[in-house]
Amino acid sequence: MARLTLWRWGVLGLAALYFLVPLAASVVFTIDVPGQGITFDAYTRIFGTEGFVSSLLLSLGLAAATIALVLLLTVPAAVALRLGAARWRPVVEVVCSLPLVVPPIAFVAGIGTVLKWGPEHLSRTPLFQTFVAIQNPDFPFILVLAYVVMALPFVFRALDSGLRSVDVRTLVEAARSCGANWPQALIRAVLPNLRGALLNASFLTLALVLGEFTVAQLLGFQPFAVWIVNVSGSQAQLSVAVSVLSLLVTWLMLLALAGFGGRIPKDSRS
């Protein structure tokens, strides 16, 4: 038993070194300026740098829209699979796993082909304005659609794990026997018992949107991740400082999520 405990601590120590050493090196790079010594100028200049606020707000808006849309699609589907559509489960699992198989570069190439095809063939139809609207640089909804597809594997797995710990059929039947319709049964009986799973799915989607670079860059938009890469060419210390700060914020959000999920009242799970 003692040998097993020692082995676990060894693995945890190696994992900590793997993550903390690069992070520490990045912090040293941002605060140790040759000829000036230790300075936090890179961190103090973050909020005043051109494009920081706009790109961050754009990414947060895209993340909010992506979370709302992907949950709207996956929650009813996951609940339906648990209630009586189990024969469709292999199909849904394959569809939700496809984004893990298709490389992002191939995915964005397909999106670009469709966006080029649309204006040429639909220029005289009302759908032409739709193609123009979803590519609005102020809020490119095409990125939301792409991020929904990319987030499907993570969201579906998180929701499926949460549903496995809940007797969905009993909850729905109890709500229906009290006079609730199907939407009310889902919102008032099922969703409160999936708070932890919904939080996990939302956090994973937020992390994906904030860190996604390939699709946004190749489609010509500049959310937060693209801005960090663009600013790194002229202000390397600033870009690394932003990356370190965003990583720390992500960790804090993860800890807050774990603490919030752990305080779910027991009666809401029953």
Does residue 267 carry a pLDDT above 60?
Answer: no
Q: What is the DSSP letter of 37?
A: E
Closest of 171, 165, 206 to residue 59, by C-alpha: 206
Give buried/exposed letters for 131-155 (b at 16+ CB in 10 A, else e): beebbeeeebebbbebbbbbbbbbb
Per domain, the residue ranges of the chain are 57-227
Contact 45, 240 (CB under 8 A): no
Q: What proportion of the chain, given as a percentage, has pLDDT over 70?
A: 90
User: Following DSSP, what letter does each residue of 198-240 receive, concatenated?
Assistant: HHHHHHHHHHHHHH--HHHHHHT---HHHHHHHHHTT-HHHHH
CA gap 240, 227 in Å, rounded: 12
Contact 70, 77 (CB under 8 A): no
Does residue 263 carry a pLDDT above 70?
Answer: no
Q: How far apart are the first and last CA of the chain?
A: 36
CATH number of 57-227: 1.10.3720.10
Residue 122 makes CB contacts below 8 A (sequence gap 6+) with: 128, 131
Q: In whole numbers, what is the pLDDT of the chain averaged over residues?
A: 83
> Is the model's pTM score more than 0.85?
no
Does residue 270 carry a pLDDT above 60?
Answer: no
Q: What confidence score (pLDDT) does residue 268 get? A: 45
Q: What confidence score (pLDDT) does residue 112 get? A: 86
